[in-house]
Every structure is written in C-alpha cells, then in structure tokens.
Chains A and B, each alone.
Chain A
Amino acid sequence: MTRAADILKLTPAGLYCEAGDFYVDPLRKVPRAVITHGHSDHARAGHEAVLATKETLAVMAARYGEKFAGTRQALHFGETIALASAQVTLKPAGHVIGSAQVVIEVAGKRVVVSGDYKRARDPTCPPFEPMPCDIFITEATFGLPLFRHPPAADEAAKLLHALQLFPDRPHTIGAYSLGKAQRLIALFREAGHHAPIYVDAPTSKLCAVYVAHGVPLGDIRLLASTPAADLNGAIVVGMAELPEGTNDPVTAYASGWMRTRKRARAANVDMPLIVSDHADWDELTQTIEEVAPGELWITHGEEAALLHWARTKGIRARPLSIAGYGDEEDPEAAPSA
C-alpha cells in the first residue's frame, strides 16, 4: 500500500518523488527535475533533465541561456505523463507565466505541489485550478491574517493618477523582472495607457517571452537606449537607474510587503504599491478549503498562523523546512524530514 505521505520525501536537494524518480523545484543540480515556475529560487540551471510548461522552459532559457539543462520536455496544462510508476500532470497556478502546480498520482493517491500561487486576477497567466488531493503542499509567503492584497488594478490606477498629476516626470516602478513587471504593464494597458513603457534589460528579455507566448504588452522599449528627455512623463519598470538629465522622478515600488506602514516607509519611494503574485491570507485559506486536503504541508513563508488556522479547521498540517526558518530557538536545527 502506498501512503500519500510516502509519495514525496524532503531531502537536502528538495522534494523528491521516489516512485517517479524526480525532484520538484530542486535546490541543487539533480538528474531529473520538474519545475513549477521560472523564479530563480525554484528554477535553477544545470539539471540533467527538466520537465515544465513550455513557457517556464522559455523563461529558463531567457535567463540562463539555451544550455540551462541537459534535456528538456514541455508539458501542456492538463496533460498527464507517466514517470516510472508516477503520473504527473501540470495545472495552472496563476503566479507568473507558465507557473504550474505539480499533481502527482501514485497508486490512487494524489499529492499536489502548488509551487507559488495566487487567486487574484492576472491578465498575463491562466487562473489557479484547485485540485482535490490527499496532500496539498502550499507556500505561505503572506500567511498572516493582516495580508489582504487590494485589487492590483486599483494600485495600477494610483500610478496612472500620479502620471496625470505629474505629466513631466518619469514614473519609475521597482518590480520583480519576472511576473510583477509584466502584470503591471498589462494592467496599465487595460486601463488605457498605450504610451511606450520603458524597461531594463532583464525585464525586457522576459517581456519578450510573454509576447512570444501570446501575452500582448504593447509598446515596450529598452531603457538603456532611450534619450533622457523621452523618459519625462513615461512609465519605467524595473530596477535600473534612470539616466542623467531626466526631470525628478516619481518613484514607486510594487510588492505585497507594502501592506504594512513600516515596510512601506522602508521602501523609501514616493508610492509604495501593494501588488503581489502570491496568495494573500484569504486566498490561502480559501484555497485550502477548496482542495480540502487530508493533510497540509507548508513549504515556506509565515507558516505559524496558517498552521494554527489549519488545526482549528481540523486539517492535519506540518511545516517543511524548505527555505523556511528552522526551530526558532535553535537556528542550527536540522530540517525535519
């Protein structure tokens, strides 16, 4: 008899599926990896074989070069593949382009590794699909009941409002180059802002991946090759500095952490924008209720509150130590297996 809890094991290299002989989002180079999405802490270069959505493979190629893995295989959302005695299916996670939950079935038991995910609307990727399962492995980046992200379109509108008030200043937005940047650009386009938007080189490479996979972003231009005067009154997305000679900018920074006053002030920008590609507290608890798992494993983030909540709902829950804090009193404690 296979127990659901035996399908995945936590090893030093990350979550390992023995029945299928593969790792999910491994932390080190491994022979076979299934990758949920292209953020660098989940998608590393140098695995011998990588299985992911074609969008995630394209993101990895854009970031690490074409030789990022020995061999690669693309799986469509909803398509199932047999890896030894495990059946593997990728389902949308709604986090960034190509982001997938990994659904693993062995002998009638099902484990879902959600990767990073969100439930809020995002015009740049398909929405999260809840999958009932025996074990649900969730993140908890914003796992405290004080994190409730406002609609991202409202936050984008704040920036466009500032652009109306200060039509001669560049408006710079610090944003993660994969996902956040493209989501904001898409929201600006939806709100009717069709002027050129300037991006730094890392963001530009990833915008090209989005466009190549059917996500229109409008007129995107590279910041580095733009005369300073053209940036006045324009939106600039990314982390690069403005060239000399522009007017004083309006600065913004987009992150779910901007919810609290302390963090918003620490960002040291004119306009902290609360935009996140991670589930907030309500989305985490809603999702767990929908997938109704027999057991909940939490990979990383603010897990204490979510563990408490799950237990009050009668859901067995345990923290994994992947990327998480060890024992609070003893930072040297080994990860629990």
Chain B
Amino acid sequence: MNRLAALIARLETLNDAAMKEAFLADYLSETPEPDRTHARDLLDGKLKLRPAKLALIRGLAEARIDATLFGLAQAYTGDMTETIALTWVPNRRANRDPTLSEIVEALATLGRSELPKRIEAWLDACDETGRHVLIRLITGTLRLDRPREADAAPAADTQNELFRAAPRKDTSGTIAAILLYAERTNARARTSPLRCTFGIWNGDTLAPIGRCEVGPVEAEPIEHFIAEHTTARFGPVREVRHDREIALVAELAFAAITPTPRRKAGLTLRAPRLLRVLEGAAPSDAASLATLEARAKGH
C-alpha cells in the first residue's frame, strides 16, 4: 500500500502528462501480479469495493489519541481523513504493509464484525501517506482516472482528479515581490484569509503593484512575519517592515501586466496570486520596476 500511495500522491501533484506516465510505468514495472492488475483497475476507476464507513475508522482513531489534540489537528487540516492518517500512532509495526490485493479480498470476504480489527492492523502497518490513501480507498472517496498515454490529450468530459487539463503555470508570469501591507478579511476570525499588498523595487523605495487574498493555510509564514514586523496599524490594515534589511519576499503569479498611469508604479499585476513565500530570500531578491516594465513591453 505504501508504494501505491506514494505513486498516487505523486500523480496528484504532477501536472505534466509525460511525467505522470513515467512514474506510473516505473511503479507497474516493479509491481507483481495480481497487484498490478488491481492497481490498473483502481487508476482506471474500475475497481469496485464495498466501502467501509469513515465513522468506523474515526472511532478507531479517537480511541488512541487525546480528544483535544485530535480536535486541534482536525481544526488545522479541515479534512477528517487526513487528520486520522497523520495523527495515527502505530501500536506496532507489522512486517510489511498490506498489498492492494489483500485489501480487495478482505473487504469482499470479511464480515462486519471482523472488519474493524483488520482495518486497525492495516493502519498500524502503513506509513502516513499509505494510511491516507488507504482510508480514502476503503471509504470510497479515492476517485482516480489513469493517466493517458503521454501524447494523448486528457478527456475533458471525465471526472478526472489526477489529470486535470490545466496547463502548467497557467499565467503569463511570476515575479518576486515584497509584502507591504496585510489586512484580515474577517477581523474576528483568526483563520480568515489575508488581503496582502505587494510591491517591487523602484530605486530605493517600493512601488505597490498588486493585491491578492491569501488563504489561511498559505498565509502562515505571512502571519509569522506580521507578528514580528508590524510597523504601523491603520484600522485593520497592518503595515509590515519592508526595507533593504528585512522584508518578506514572495513569489506571485499573475495573468497580465496592466498599465495604470495614475498609480505610483505605472503598472499593476492583473489577477495576482501567491505561489509561495520565499523563505530565506533577501529583500534585494525582489524584482524591480525596470524589470517589470521590460516584461510588459515584451508582451
């Protein structure tokens, strides 16, 4: 299960069809029958299992962990399947994790009373990724389609979680920019998204070039920075430190560069979104207005 789960996790983060196909082929070449056929069927969406209830598995998990800790973990992930998979502390490691064929057979033959013990043993034997995929598999929430051949276009009409047709980096560009201001979109909630204003260097000052909302999970490094480096408050808006010595640098993706002659920068990013905080980047790593102007002309 662990190897199959690692493959599925990998397919879920890959965008490139050729790479998906290569990882899949590599997995299948190392997988003996009957697991290989079962894995193919699973990826083709053809593997039918009698699903187990998530409530049953949740009960097994809750019996093993302090309720407050479990609740805090669930509040963080927002995904019960993942919470169970990640907080599960194995009682003892089995010699090996279960194969897909063993799981398929057990689900087909075991009676309701025998099932919980078997699931518990499987969870003990798997690693974190293995547990996560296992729970999705046996509760019927793992919906997959097999990657097509490398040069074939994906079918647009199928429910295709693994193989969305989105092209890689569907924007006209990315840029390293510096956080100037941040504002919580809901001042009462700790975990509401942040509305962040970013700027780039114009000589020794920073010119604002765009604003975007950052979800609570992605905003965590920004929250830390705000907590340490707020320099001024204007109502709900925090100004953070942004100078040559200390600043938060982030990579933004954007749909276009739009001329805005009335704004200080003269240019604005259309539909900017945060790709990631560049932890460890120096303020001087952020882009300059001259670079953005050159890129705007290049379009």
Contact = CB atoms under 8 A, between A and B. Distances in A.
Interface of A: 27, 39-41, 44-45, 63, 144-148, 150, 165-166, 174-178, 180, 202, 239, 248, 250, 253, 255, 257, 259-272, 300, 302, 304-305, 308-309, 312, 322-326, 328-329, 331-332
Contacts of A260: 76-77, 82, 86, 217
A contact patch SS: loop
A41 B76 CA distance: 24
Contact of A268 (B78, B228, B275, B278): B275
Interface in B144-197: 169, 176, 184, 187-188, 190
Contact of A174 (B10, B15, B276): B276
A308 B128 contact: no
A146 B86 contact: yes
Contact of A250 (B19, B65, B275): B19
Nearest to B169: A268
A270 B13 contact: yes
A261 B278 CA distance: 20
A149 B130 CA distance: 15
8 contacts: A63-B282, A144-B69, A177-B280, A239-B280, A260-B86, A268-B169, A322-B228, A331-B184
Interface in B1-44: 9-10, 12-16, 19, 22-23, 26
A270 B72 contact: no
Given A239-B280, A323-B224, A248 B86 contact: no
A302 to B, nearest CB: 7
A166 B19 contact: yes
Contact of A144 (B22, B76, B228): B76
Given A146-B87, A323-B227, A329-B188, A267 B276 contact: yes
A180 B83 CA distance: 27
B120 interface: no
B213 interface: no
A165 B280 contact: no
A280 to B, nearest CB: 11
Contact of A148 (B69, B128, B220): B128
A270 B16 contact: yes
Contacts of A165: 19, 22-23, 26
A271 B10 contact: yes
Contact of B246 (A44, A268, A270, A312): A44
Contact of A325 (B73, B78, B227): B227
Nearest to B188: A329
B245 interface: yes
B62 interface: no
A261 B72 contact: no
